[in-house]
Amino acid sequence: MKTFVIRGVAGDSIIYTGASLKKMSDFVPSPESGSSPESGSLMETVVITDHRVWELYKDSFPPFPTIKTGQGEKIKNLSTIEYLYDEFKRLGVHRQTFIMGVGGGIVCDIVGFAASTYLRGLRFGLVPTTLLAQADASMGGKNGVNFHGYKNLIGTFNQPEFVMIDPEFARTLPKKEILCGMAEIVKHAAIMDHGYFSFIDAHYQQALALDNGVIKRLIHDSAAIKSAIVNADAREKGQRKKLNFGHTFGHAIEKTTAISHGQAVSVGMALAAKFSVEKGFLEPEDAARLSDLLQKIGLPTTLDLDKERVLEALTKDKKRDGDAIDFVFLTRLGNAAVKRISLGEAQRFMDGNR
């Protein structure tokens, strides 16, 4: 088992790669402890998961009270948070209760948000069960819910005390979930590590076949990149914005189409790379190589978009500042730069790239 530490404003978050759900009880801290597990009495603990994860893995859950939610983007809203608050009240959750979230990126987001806001903040940990959550969404302390269909408009910055990453979950994931995770993995490589990008390009078939060694390498390297970026910029004031590569267009596409987050981000990355070429930041060959890898993995790079609806969604992006937005461009594979552009400039680019 390997570990990374993410330094947060309110405390550290320890990422354990190679942990096991069956050992969850070993990670719950004692009431007097910090974030590191200790022997002795455990904190009173409540688990939150979704019905699908519960059905697949309930025999591996420790005997803690468990709250079960629905699945999918449709539950990532304030109604679900209200349901969790009601369940916290029913179970007698108090300030010394520890909250454990077990599930994909949506569960990680709503658990982090609910724990961070109930009783002005409860301690919590996460066990991500999808490749996307293991490689990206569970780490970094960004917790949020959607509002009127717009992504993560309401949220907090608050770190989980720990994240337990168990690669064995990949074996029960449907292919579309693997692809969603692969989109974020390619993003990490594209913005930070050319060698990692080359590794993915050489081993994507083994990854899609769930080769244990390759999956572990992908999770490990993505966790290392995410933790390094967040340590340098916990509140997304500078370098952390690079993690939004592909997401400015991607979130707008996701809002206006029926495709998954990973598919939308893939199209968003291809568009952002093309925009980077148009601005003179990126060589066309690098943009082509990125699109080629995404296509080989099985992710889309083009889509027949409703341009007007996408642009309307862009105006609701939480990263917008007046008539401007911080956009992530590539300067080469393995390096990104954040540039402030006007929404008009984004609109002109979209006008020529439906």
Question: Is 148 among the residues known to form the active site?
Answer: no
Edge-to-edge strand list for the sheet holding 2-7: 2-7, 12-17, 162-165, 124-128, 98-103, 45-50, 66-69
User: Could you tell me if 241 and 338 are in contact, meaning their C-beta atoms sit under 8 angstroms apart?
Assistant: yes
Question: Is 312 among the residues known to form the active site?
Answer: no
The structural domains of the chain, ordered by start, are 2-172 (3.40.50.1970), 175-351 (1.20.1090.10)
Instruction: Given the residues 188, 247, 255, 274, select the one marked as catalytic.
Output: 247
CA 229 to CA 225: how far, in whole Å? 6
pLDDT of residue 348: 87
Instruction: Given the residues 123, 151, 251, 255, select the one marked as catalytic.
Output: 251
Which H/E stretch holds residue 142? strand 142-147
**pLDDT of 38 over the 50 cut:** no
Which comes out higher in pLDDT, residue 145 or 12?
145
Residues of the chain with pLDDT > 70, as a percent, come to 95
**pLDDT of 40 over the 60 cut:** no
**pLDDT of 39 over the 90 cut:** no
What pairs with residue 282 in β-bridges?
A: none
Instruction: Given the residues 76, 123, 217, 240, select the one marked as catalytic.
Output: 240
Instruction: Given the residues 76, 242, 261, 274, select the one marked as catalytic.
Output: 261
As a whole number, mean pLDDT of residues 203-229 equals 94
How confident is the model over 100-126, as pLDDT tens digits? 999 999 999 999 999 999 999 999 999
Instruction: Given the residues 87, 161, 236, 254, select the one marked as catalytic.
Output: 236
Question: Is 184 among the residues known to form the active site?
Answer: yes
Instruction: Given the residues 143, 244, 254, 255, select the one marked as catalytic.
Output: 244
pLDDT of residue 37: 45
Question: Is 251 among the residues known to form the active site?
Answer: yes
**pLDDT of 35 over the 70 cut:** no
pLDDT of residue 177: 94
Question: Is 231 among the residues known to form the active site?
Answer: no
pLDDT of residue 61: 95
Which comes out higher in pLDDT, residue 270 or 233?
270
Question: Is 94 among the residues known to form the active site?
Answer: no
Q: Which residues of 226-255 are buried (b: 16+ CB within 10 A; e: fewer)?
A: bbebbbeebebeebbbbbbbbbbbbbbbbb
Distances (CA, A) of 24 to 111, 168, 331: 16, 14, 42
pLDDT of residue 171: 86
Question: Is 244 among the residues known to form the active site?
Answer: yes
Instruction: Given the residues 142, 151, 188, 241, select the one marked as catalytic.
Output: 142
Which comes out higher in pLDDT, residue 12 or 53?
53
As a whole number, mean pLDDT of residues 292-315 equals 90
pTM: 0.88
As a whole number, mean pLDDT of residues 84-102 equals 96
Question: Is 261 among the residues known to form the active site?
Answer: yes
Instruction: Given the residues 32, 120, 148, 237, select the one marked as catalytic.
Output: 120
Lowest mean pLDDT among 39-48, 88-97, 301-310: 39-48
Instruction: Given the residues 226, 241, 242, 255, select the one marked as catalytic.
Output: 226
**pLDDT of 149 over the 50 cut:** yes
Instruction: Given the residues 184, 217, 241, 274, select the one marked as catalytic.
Output: 184
**pLDDT of 334 over the 60 cut:** yes
What pairs with residue 155 in β-bridges?
A: 144
How many helices (H) and strands (E) the chain has is answered by 13, 12
pLDDT of residue 36: 46
**pLDDT of 234 over the 90 cut:** no
Average pLDDT value for the chain: 91
**pLDDT of 54 over the 80 cut:** yes
CA 220 to CA 196: how far, in whole Å? 11
